[in-house]
Structure formats: structure tokens, C-alpha cells
Structure 1
């Protein structure tokens, strides 16, 4: 019997529409090695590792009549060169041109008739650089059996770390008759599930009991918050278009550590406070009414280390993920008071969050944050859109260089997808001494996302000014 999508995985297929493609992305910028790095090298790296993750050669097939959840089947026509693509900026390409290209790539839904991922080699960047842009559907990445394609590419040393065991032979796809028989067999065992799946596939996802089943069967990935109040209204919760804008901010991990040491908080508290300050400035720049009690509610999925890990070093993650709702005090004008509010809110949540085992992450070499950002985006998609204003995924990464082949990665920016009526999503990753912010916004509602990215850097400077030298 084919492998059927879980309730959570299927929900991301059903949630997807033209304005909200359900894929998570990443933008990794590399220094070109002396021996060069070309499209054939990227294809070779991915081809040698695909047998580690069989799902990347499988596509989603719906059951006739939507009598059961879709199934994963091997793509007999799998073509690696369709999924691994190349693009080029007019030389010498600058960062603004790269970000515009990323926005356009992320606006395009993945082809539902093929395996749900794409990777782009972007050439032509100035200063001897190139970029790798990845797109992976949320239904594909569960963090246990399947990781994000961005994690698959990278190594801790300048070499390819895995060799394929041999040629891949796809299994025969099931016929429509077989899919129906299997679905009816499942329906006999769980008749309610057949009705719920048909309603969800018809667009009635949020009015059916499948929503609660998603929360219940998410493997502990999310904290189901049924009693949360409606989030404050504002410019971040509007009808969105299919088009996106993308901007980045670059900061130093040492700056956040200095704030942590000065104010007895966590690095994550300092990151969230920095974003709260930037969002405050952004709201004021738009002429929005901001009072001392104004808040924006963030859904913050967090990777959590094991108890024995060294919390001063945001290195390889442990095996738990939590999701929290945090009211960011954007109405507070004092940066230190904002930090105290955020630290207090995070401490309250720490004892109540639900955790999920993800031991497979520790067994995989490479860069775990792309997978954790995917899990964070899955968490956001499993919540009601009415209870938060913005998604913020913050994943600590390794503090040593990583490589694609012989090319050293210089920086990495997450691209977290938008959900319906959510105009902004922010991904944060630390890597090799830097902290990198990726801001994904709706093209119409967030025309000034570049300004917000600059305000992130300015907000950190404001908070850093409170540190005694």
C-alpha cells in the first residue's frame, strides 16, 4: 500500500492557493572557490545524496473522490535537472537584484505533478560570489523522515560527504482502482476520517474537525492554543496577493551576546526585542496609531537544545521544537523596558510548551536550520490565522563554516512562507558569528519591507547602546 500523507502533511496541500504557496525557502550566499563552482557541481552534490531522502523523488497523488488523504508515489519520470535550475544576474549583480529574484522565485507555486522542491544556482553576483536558492513544500519536510533540501547540500568540510549506493529504480505507481480500494479499506476502519478529508479537500478545512486533528497529530510539533484571544488588527493582517518582496538584515552574534550578558536575558529575547523595536518604528513611519499599550502578536516556533547543551554557543540543535505566542510590546518607547517585557513573556511560556522529539536531526550531517525553519512554518500553518500578526522563526545555527562542495557559505537567509491574510513572515538564523534576518512580505502590503529590514539593524544599535563598555 502506498505511503499516505499524514493529516498535517495533507493540510498543507489543502491550504495552498494562488496567493499562499506553501513552500519554505532559503538563500545561501557563497564565495566562489579557486577551482570554480558551476551548475554541474551542484547537480552532482544533490544527486549523490538523494538516496538519503527518498521523498525527494516522490510526488503527491490524490485519491479519486478525495475519499482518503493523498499518497506519496515514486515519480517514474523523475528528472533531477528539472528540479535543479540555474539563473544569472546581470554582472556585476548586487544584493538588491538577488533579493528581487528571490521574491519572484518564491511567488511561483511548485509544480504539483512533480516532487515538491526546487533548487536554483544563481550566478553573476559581484565580489566573486554566487547564491543557492531553495524551495521545499511544507508537506515534504517533517524533520523526522525528511529534511529540507538546504540541509542536504551542506557539509562541515569542503568536500562531498556521501556517495550514492547506485541507480534508483522507481516503484510502480498504483492505479486509480487500487487507490480507491485502499481508501475504502481505510474508510471501514475510520469512516469519520473519510468525511473530514472530503470536506477539507473541498476548502472546508477550518470548519471541519480536521483542524483539531491536525493539532493533535502534529507529533508535538506545535502547541495547540485553543483559548488564545484574537490578535490585534493592523497593517500586517490584510488580504494578500500571490507576489512577494524579500529583504534582509545582517547583524553580529557578539552584539546579541553582549546584550544577553548585560541584561541577564537570552539571545532569543534580544532578537525578539530587536524586532519589536523595528516594528514599532515601522508602524510610526506609516502613521499608524501607537500607544503605550500597543502590541503585535508573534507566533514564535523555537528550536530547543537538550539539557546538556551549552546555551552560550548556538551550535547544532538538540531534539525539541516548541511554538509560542508572544505579544511584542511595540508601544513601549524604552528599549530596555521592551526587553524586560519580552523576557518575562518568554519565561512564562517556557514551562507550558509542548515538545517534539526530532532525533533524526542529530543523525544528519549538514545545516539543520533549514529544516527547523520548515518545521516552524509548519507550526504557523497549523494555527488559526486570527490569533497572531506575524510569524518569527529563530533557529540557532553552527558557528563554524559550512560548504557546498569546495565553496564556503558566507551567509544564509530563511524565507518563511506567508499564510492567508498575513503580510509578513520573518526568519532568523545565526551562522559563523552572524545573525541573519530574512523578511518575506506581500508585494503590495509590504512595499516598504526594505525600510523594515534597515530598522532591524537600527533597533539592534539602540539596544546595544544600553550595554556598558
Structure 2
């Protein structure tokens, strides 16, 4: 049976380009001192990953494109698969600070994945203070889909210190088809459904469609899912042309403190989280500008599931990556001085827009046909991405549940951060997880646009403190010089 990329997977595959790498990941910080089992070392981690790969078929497959774009690419078993190429050992020098760890992560996440091999990497990072370890995963977005295609960090972690070992599975790669057979197979598949093939050519993502019906498709596309573009997002350096250099930083605050603010103001838990993010973005804007006009906003897109439930009814367990979830666009009132008033505005706007069809989006969706004639797929996805470049300023990945304690090889995970994908025309992406009794924020950014990203960690604590103390006035913000946005020649030309 032909295992072809879905339209969504193909879109993410083709979205990679200059300044854009659609991989995401997680950072798990492990503390062997909190456990009572054997320490985790590289050989044990390799054995664990190899044992769990049977639950993730795509992680031993490469993506093979079809000649002339006659169909979407195929998942093909990698005949030379070597788990030690993907699972790597790294270390940071003394003193092993969080700042050094964040810089290492930024360098790793700046590099594109090797498309000739299965598109994922996993790093065991040693040398952190206190004998801690870190595991960094880096996975192309096309490998991660619904619940049947989890990210590797969700598979190698367990809910107890007892590490279950799956029955040994003797994996043998299937025979790799020749380019000729792949092409003939695409033609045969198309000819078996000539009606769909013709419709795909005329109304899909191929060159004839680009010439004959692009305007019609664009009009229908805008009319159904991009109505918010009429009222585009405010001008922001966050929509600058990106480069390939990245920065990453993280911060965490007590979950009890966030819950206390939610109870005090009678709003949802995620209202407070979004209020913290709004305070962070306000402080960042004040660090690069002299002032912010009253009523000024920033536009964010976040999962619709983040609006479900109040703090008292939040569920526990489950995964932590929101991939392909329905989303909505809301405004962050960064121009409001009073933190308490700002929180109420955040809650009201999010509640209103999460119920507005004009602010709904089902997430990134491809301008590719179901059958998949995609000669100009890379062009189509860039056009699609261009349509969305002004619909919002910053994406926020926000969990809809509390994640309970996890273990890797019996070693407790002390902290868990997600690293969102940074797509074109976005200089910053934010992720938020509830892990155990902490709320953990990850900030992933373009280095040339947001050279001051490390300051975000301090802004998180400041923003929460404003809400806890009920302050009604502005707080001082340290001005930080920011390098002017820079773009490489390839991005400017494209």
C-alpha cells in the first residue's frame, strides 16, 4: 500500500525555506537526584529510543518526492537507518548554567534537518549544574500529526519510574522503490481515478490551477477562513523577514500563584496565562520603544482548546504538543497600563473571539489537492503563507491540561518545555505548558530580530507579580538595545 504524505504533512514539508525551518521540539530537564534508580546514560537512552520506535513508524522513514510533482511525496523506509545518527550525546562546559543550555539549544534548533534521512534528532545533554541532564528533541513538523503520530518526547517518557519495555520488534525496511516505479505508481493512481485527477489538475495546486483558477480559489479561501485579513494585525517587528539564526529562552512560575490570580479575578486559568503573556509583550515593546499608545494591541493566534473549562475542572495527563488543533485569533491589549484592567480585557477579548467565526482558523491548511498533483507545491505553500503573514503577530501554543510527573528511563523529569515551530514572517513563537506544579514558558525567536530575547524570562515573573499584587499602574522597564532586523539575501529575493 502506498504511504503518501497527507496534504497537511506535505505543506509543512514544502514550507521549509530560507529563514524557515518547520521543526519543533521539547526540552526535558532531568534530575537524577530526585530518583532512586540507575542514572541515565547514552547507551541506556539509545536502547530506550530504539525500543519505542516501533510506536513511531515515520521515525524510520524518509520523504521521497515524486517526479514532476505528479503526486504528494511518499513515506519510504530508510534502508540505512542508524539510530545512533539520530540520538546524539552533547555537553555544556562548566558551570553548566541555564544560559549556556539555552544557547546550545538555539544553535541546534537553528540548523535544518537532513532531508536524506528521517527528519528528527534527539540530544542527551550532560554537564548541567547539580548533576542534572537535559534531553532535547528536534522533529520536523510533517512527522507530527494527530494522536496516531506523536512527537518522540511523548513516547520515550513514562508516567511512573518503572520503565516498561515493549516486546522486541524485528524491524526490516521495505524495499526502496526506484524513481521510475514511484512515477509510474503516481500515474497509475491518477488514472485509476481520472475524475479526481482532472479535478486536481484544474482545481488543485498544479500549474494549470495556478493559471486558470487561482483567483477563484483565493476568493473562496479568503471568504471562508481568512476574513480576519481585512482587519490585518498591527505593524510589528515580529512580522519581519526571518533569518536562520535562532534564540531560545525559558521561564517558569508556580502554578498555585497563577491559580490564585484566576480565583481572585474569577476568570479561567488560561486567561491569567494569556494575561501574563500580554504583560511580557508589553514590557518587551517598552524596552524597544519610548512609549505605547493607550489602546494599542498585538494580535496572537492560540489553540481553541485553551478556552475550554475553568481552573477547577482542568484535566490531567495526556500529551503536550498542540499540532494541527483548531485555533482562533485574539488581541492582546498591550496599551493598557493597569495590570488588573489588562487581565479583564484579555479575558473578555479571548472569550468573544473564541466564539467568533471571523476569528476562527483551523490552523495552517495547504493549498494542495487531496490527490496531490503538486508541481508548484513549494510556490503554493509560500503564497498561502504570504496570505497569512499579516493576520497575526505572534503564535502561542498553550496546553489545555496539566501534565503529570514524567520519567525517562526511570529518571524524573524536573521541567518540561516545548519549542514551537517558527514559520515564515514570524520572529517569535511562544509555548506554555502546565507541568506538575509549574507553569512553563518557552520563547523561540529569530536572533536578528529579537536579540534581547533572554529578557523575556524576567518579564514573565514581573508580569505575574503585577497581577498578584493587583497593581494599577505601569512598572519601570529596562531599555535594552536591539539590533536592527536583518534578512539574508535569499529571503529578500524570495
* TM-score range normalised by the length of the shorter chain: 0.7 to 0.9
Range 395-404 or range 135-144, more displaced: 395-404
Distance of aligned partners of 1:74 and 1:8 in 2 relative to their CA distance in 1, 3 Å threshold: same
1:281 equivalent in structure 2: 283
User: Does the CA contact (< 8 Å) of 1:27 and 1:131 recur in 2?
Assistant: yes
User: Does the CA contact (< 8 Å) of 1:314 and 1:430 recur in 2?
Assistant: no
Distance of aligned partners of 1:210 and 1:315 in 2 relative to their CA distance in 1, 3 Å threshold: farther
Distance of aligned partners of 1:215 and 1:5 in 2 relative to their CA distance in 1, 3 Å threshold: farther
Equivalent of 1:51, from 54, 74, 78? 54
User: Does the CA contact (< 8 Å) of 1:250 and 1:437 recur in 2?
Assistant: yes
2:406 matches 1:405: no
Deviation at 1:313, TM superposition (A): 3.6
Deviation at 1:234, TM superposition (A): 1.4
Deviation at 1:268, TM superposition (A): 0.8
Q: Deviations over 1:138-169 (max 9, x none)?
A: 11111232101110111010122241442101
CA distance in 2, matches of 1:211, 1:79: 44
Equivalent of 2:154, from 140, 147, 151? 151
Distance of aligned partners of 1:302 and 1:393 in 2 relative to their CA distance in 1, 3 Å threshold: farther
1:110 equivalent in structure 2: 113
Range 32-41 or range 231-240, more displaced: 32-41
Equivalent of 2:399, from 385, 395, 398? 395
Deviation at 1:125, TM superposition (A): 0.5
SS for the counterpart of 2:331 is: strand
1:256 equivalent in structure 2: 258
2:80 equivalent in structure 1: 77
SS for the counterpart of 1:152 is: helix
1:234 equivalent in structure 2: 236
Contiguous gaps of at least 5 residues in structure 2: 363-383, 472-494
Equivalent of 2:93, from 74, 87, 90? 90
Q: Give the structure-1-normalised TM-score.
A: 0.85
Deviation at 1:397, TM superposition (A): 4.9
CA distance in 1, matches of 2:241, 2:405: 40
CA distance in 1, matches of 2:115, 2:218: 23
Range 50-59 or range 282-291, more displaced: 282-291
Distance of aligned partners of 1:427 and 1:345 in 2 relative to their CA distance in 1, 3 Å threshold: same
User: Does the CA contact (< 8 Å) of 2:318 and 2:403 recur in 1?
Assistant: no
Contiguous gaps of at least 5 residues in structure 1: 217-222, 357-379
Aligned alpha-carbon RMSD (Å): 3.0
CA distance in 1, matches of 2:55, 2:292: 51
SS for the counterpart of 1:190 is: helix
**Size of the alignment, in residue pairs?**
433
Q: Deviations over 1:374-433 (max 9, x none)?
A: xxxxxx979812200001111145453210011100001111121112111001111010
CA distance in 2, matches of 1:215, 1:75: 40
Deviation at 1:226, TM superposition (A): 3.3
**1:176-325 paired onto structure 2 within 5 Å:** 176-187=179-190, 188=194, 189-194=196-201, 196-198=204-206, 224-228=225-229, 229-287=231-289, 289-303=291-305, 311-317=312-318, 321-325=325-329
Distance of aligned partners of 1:162 and 1:283 in 2 relative to their CA distance in 1, 3 Å threshold: same
User: Does the CA contact (< 8 Å) of 2:429 and 2:444 recur in 1?
Assistant: yes
CA distance in 2, matches of 1:311, 1:15: 40
CA distance in 1, matches of 2:49, 2:127: 22
**1:407-426 paired onto structure 2 within 5 Å:** 407-426=411-430
